[in-house]
Structure 1
Amino acid sequence: MVLYGLDGMTHRSQAYGLLAVGLREHWDLEQLPSIARGKRGKPLFPDFPQLRFNLSHSGPRALCALDWDEVGVDIQQITLRRSAFLDRLLSPEERAWLLGLGDDPEAFTQLWTLKESFCKFTGLGLTRPISAIPVPLPRQILPSGACLPFGSVCFTLFSGPGWRAAVCSPARCASSIRWLTPGQLPPVGKKIPQK
């Protein structure tokens, strides 16, 4: 698995430029293949079904994963959440976990990226309430690069000033993100899929 990150994104379509760079460097594809959606909306390459990818974006950052196996990624800016909002999104166990960490926005963002990356990994999307989607609950906010095995999947957590990210993949963790700037991307005129 390889991960590419973009810092300084000004247009959501730049995430496709990030994907194009990853495809060229990782799989020697000079052009971005056509992209379709699976039954539940997960993006895929119909002409290259063996090549798996996933994209996420938030604020000025985007994240792209490429692998031979299914993969899910999520990146989020850290923001404050209202308590009533949290009660609708989290299971009682998750809410207790978050309160135990001082209701910290960074802890919530870590939890949210775990849930989103798992949903994107499975390709099922939000076919059940987000509060019913189980993810690991570590005893503390974990540092960037932390690996969390959980059943048949592994989560890797990444973070930086003002953001958190998670990658979900089968039974192995990601090692690092290769960060790029907008100037390193080819122009790509495709729209980024909505989450």
Structure 2
Amino acid sequence: MTREHFDGIAQDYDDQDKVDRARQIADAVRAAVPLTGREGLLEYGAGTGLVAQALQGAVGRLTLADSSSGMRQVAERKVADGALPEGTRVWDLDLTDPEVTLPEENFDLVVSSLVLHHIPDLAPVLAGLHRLLVPGGHLAVADLDSDDGRFHAHLHDFDGHDGFDRHGLARQLRAAGFTDVTVDDCTTLVKHGEVFAVFLAVARR
């Protein structure tokens, strides 16, 4: 799936199902990560920033990173309209790009929601997320359980993962340098009339 695909759906992205799911994921992050309200948060592959939006007030400054210009435009409009806090930053950041220059800043918490299954080669992205965290900082990843290709069956050009085996993803997180990895049930979503399970993987740098 290309950036152009996400550019094309950005303006109508925030339907009620996605808003509700983002709140459920944010609730799971709050339950799994000891938050003080001062954490610098990066939402990677943020889209329009729904999870960060649901976490505002539970963390400190928000930074949203996405490679889709259409999604970033919607996120920037949310900041201007007050749906996201003043001072929220919106970055163009793609850790799949081998030429990417990582920001100098480090974060206390990095979250991503239904992002990693779009990325064929996870290793450089997980390594980049690890480097973006402060020592002791947390990564929280919400994504799909393995589904034998049913979730993306309608997309002829999908080249990502058909969900994840939880144990396999935990091994990849440990290989990237993360510790204290846990993977637990988080929420569900319905597509093509079928219910798909979403887990939350939490790990520490």
After TM superposition, the score normalised by the length of structure 1 is 0.35
Which structure features the higher share of helix residues? 2
| TM-score (norm: length of structure 2) | 0.33
- Between 1 and 2, higher relative CO (CA 8 Å, sep ≥ 6) is seen in 1
